[in-house]
Amino acid sequence: MAVYKIFPTKDTTLYSAYPTMNTGLDAILEVSNKLNISGDPEVARYLIQFDQTEIQNIISDKISGNSYSIYLKNFIAEAQGLNQTTSLLIHPLAQSWNNGTGYYLDNPKETDGSSWTYSNYNGSGPWNTSGYYSGSAGAIFYTSSFSNIYGGIGGGNWFYDALATSYVSASYVVPFYVINSSAYTGSANATFGLRDVKDIEANVSNIVNNWLNGVIPNYGFIVKLSGSQEFNPSQYVQPIFKFYSVDTNTIYPPCLEFRWRDYTSIITPSSPVVTTTDLKMSLAENPGVFFPESKNRFYINVSPLYPTRTYQTASLFTNLNYLPTSSYYAIKDLATNEFVVNFDNNYTQISSDFNGNYFDVYMSGLEPERYYKVIIKTELNGSIILFDDNYYFKVING
């Protein structure tokens, strides 16, 4: 499968209203600007990190020189207050941090992990407001933003390519608060309108590549609102995003998704490619149950439903046939009917060899103890045809 997912090693939310509170085991990650009962703005940002060795192994062992893209995906649990277009910024974090074992509004609150004020635990490792890291590309500077009134110094920090002065506002942070600086590390963003799906799916390839190349260290990502929407005291600017964390009990944990093109084809103009839309199809090499460590190559058997008559001793349905090269696969969660791997013209194109059409699936990117369904799409004679004929399999815990 040219789509592979890994899950975070840690994540947590930083709340300006609770400067030393840790929420490292909470099921929710929050990004927000909301007003408290006194009308003061309270800001939340979240941190998320993925294992560097696991990333390196995927690039070297699975992608193996193919071109690729990497996406941060986070699934929405609840969204409120989006009465205008709202942008989330995704920056490379600039300081190491501790996950902690706290939950939101624990009583007593847990302070053994990162918080708005501290990166390690209460009293240890205050967030640096500015500085630099000397990597393979020289000095890469980092910055931060916070309010002196609401929460004080903290809220994480992130890398930029030029010496940027941290901007402290008495009320709220204004847009473009990083002076004379652009995102050397390729910071990403996700923008949402009122009726848009609020899931994050942001291309973070530049950030990850800079981790791999030693330009900056991998401390993970910080996800926050744009500057104009943080510490904003207006009652009309109160966006609240709540995403599922890695500690969710649902099937929607955040992930880092690697996509690459592994398409190969032996089809030539003389190959027996089906030309009719009346097709009989089956999925071969599908034992039905897989362990998360498995990789499986599914083959697709296809033949015309009404083959042309010829004189031969074997059944016409045993002849090898191929789908057109414009054929793709997708995978859905059977219970929710949601796409786990969606159709993509680059990343899910169906390959072919001398045994027929095929595609590969790495089961480690699928949630265990779930049933999945394979759907095949092909473009034929100007029509787009979907084959959804109960091609099921299950991933189980080993």
Give the Cα separation of 377 and 323 in Å (integer): 10
| Residue range 235-293, pLDDT digits in tens | 998 999 999 999 999 889 999 999 999 999 999 999 999 988 888 899 999 999 999 98
Q: How confident is the model at residue 183 (pLDDT cuts 50, 70, 90)?
A: very low
Radius of gyration of the chain (CA): 25
Token output for 147? 């309010």
Give the Cα separation of 296 and 362 in Å (integer): 7
Contact assessment for residue 91 and residue 158, using Cβ atoms and an 8 Å cutoff: yes
Give the Cα separation of 371 and 282 in Å (integer): 18
Q: What is the pLDDT of residue 146?
A: 85
| Residue range 292-342, pLDDT digits in tens | 989 999 999 998 887 766 666 555 556 799 999 999 999 999 999 999 999
Contact assessment for residue 388 and residue 375, using Cβ atoms and an 8 Å cutoff: yes
Q: What is the pLDDT of residue 25?
A: 98
Instruction: Give alpha helix (H) positions in the chain.
Output: 52-57, 205-212
pTM score > 0.85 for this model? yes
Give the Cα separation of 21 and 113 in Å (integer): 8
Amino acid residing at 362: Y
